[in-house]
Structure 1
Amino acid sequence: MMTQLANLIRMAAQLPIFMSCVALFFLMVMTFCDVILRSTINAPIEAATELTRMSMAILVFSVMPVMSFQGGHINVDLLDGLFDRLRLDRWRDVVISLACGVMLYWPASRVVVLAERARSYGDVTEYLNWPVFYVSWFIAILTFLTMGALILRGLVLIFAPQMLEPAK
């Protein structure tokens, strides 16, 4: 049962990774075209700034739940030797995952407030006139998913730590 759940989560994790890859590719192509157009015929893509902001939001926030669940964040291991000697490294990861997961509620809920404010004011982007609240809601939803992923990671580390070991 637990391995089936782990396989389902791994399959579901491929969609946000694919979205992030598409956003990165779009960002590379758009930047290339913008530089070429700016340099050759002095006609930059006017909406490049807006598209870059949206692409970066998709790129960063779509992989946050996956990276958080896998424990793929950058960390500084100043105390790893101490925790390893005391055999407390798993419990350190449990506390960090659960604490960070719980703390993400506040920024996620604040982004919801900002998204609703942008929707109620009718805020749109400057060149493309796209509603701003769509990107804000995307960020809020993915932050809530990251919150859930971190809490789930903490619980898995407590009850089934072998699920997080790399597949052989």
Structure 2
Amino acid sequence: MHVISNLLRKSAALPVAVASAALFFLMILTFCDVVLRSAFNAPIEAATELTRISMAITVFAVMPVMSARGEHISVDLLDGVFQRLRLTRIRDAIVFIGCGVMLYWPAGRVVVLAERARDYGDVTEYLGIPVFYMGWFIAIMTYLTMMAMVLRGLAILFAPQLLERQS
């Protein structure tokens, strides 16, 4: 089990590195676009499509990692009630499994849209990048997020000691 845990931890570094690189590229792109637009009245023509691609990579690359680690933003309005009733673990498991199962529908829709874009030959305006690549990336990452959330929910229910060691 320790070997699997180490493998998962190391494999989580790749999507985080990809998202970090995309975010850094986005910062440089924005800076250069602002300078060129303001100083020389010559904006980067492809900045909009590169920004959209970079944002999609930044957001969707880390979704499975954040879900597996349980690092979502949450509002604890009812935490006191659930703690008094000792239902925190059950609530967390239901939320993770429910949200994971619900991700099946949007991921499937993105696959349909990506395939439609591929069939139509849709490409980005300036650079001519096929749109379906981003669609498939988003779909794959959403499916991985779905699996991570369901597995975390099941771990909360049946093997909470594994998650306690992870922290």
TM-score tier (shorter): over 0.9
TM-score, normalisation: structure 1: 0.96
Number of the residue aligned with 1:109: 108
SS of 1:165 mapped into structure 2: helix
- The structural deviation recorded for 1:137 is 0.4
Q: Against the structure 1 CA distance between its residues 5 and 159, is the aligned structure 2 distance closer, same or farther, given a 3 Å change threshold?
A: farther
- The structural deviation recorded for 1:162 is 2.1
Say if 2:155 is the partner of 1:156: yes
Q: Against the structure 1 CA distance between its residues 79 and 37, is the aligned structure 2 distance closer, same or farther, given a 3 Å change threshold?
A: same
What fraction of aligned residue pairs are identical, expressed as a percent? 68
Number of the residue aligned with 2:15: 16
Write the mapping of 1:40-119 to structure 2, written as runs, cut at 5 A.
Answer: 40-119=39-118
- Which consecutive residues of structure 2, in runs of 5 or more, have no partner in the other structure? none
Number of the residue aligned with 1:120: 119
TM-score, normalisation: structure 2: 0.97
**Structure 1: distance between partners of 2:162 and 2:63:** 19
SS of 2:124 mapped into structure 1: coil
**Structure 2: distance between partners of 1:143 and 1:45:** 31
Number of the residue aligned with 2:3: 4
**Structure 2: distance between partners of 1:54 and 1:12:** 23
Runs (4+) off by over 2 Å: 165-168
- Which consecutive residues of structure 1, in runs of 5 or more, have no partner in the other structure? none
Number of the residue aligned with 2:34: 35
SS of 2:128 mapped into structure 1: coil
- The structural deviation recorded for 1:144 is 0.2
- The structural deviation recorded for 1:4 is 2.2
- The structural deviation recorded for 1:123 is 0.3
What letter matches 1:67 in structure 2?
Answer: M
What is the RMSD computed on CA atoms of the aligned residues? Answer: 1.1
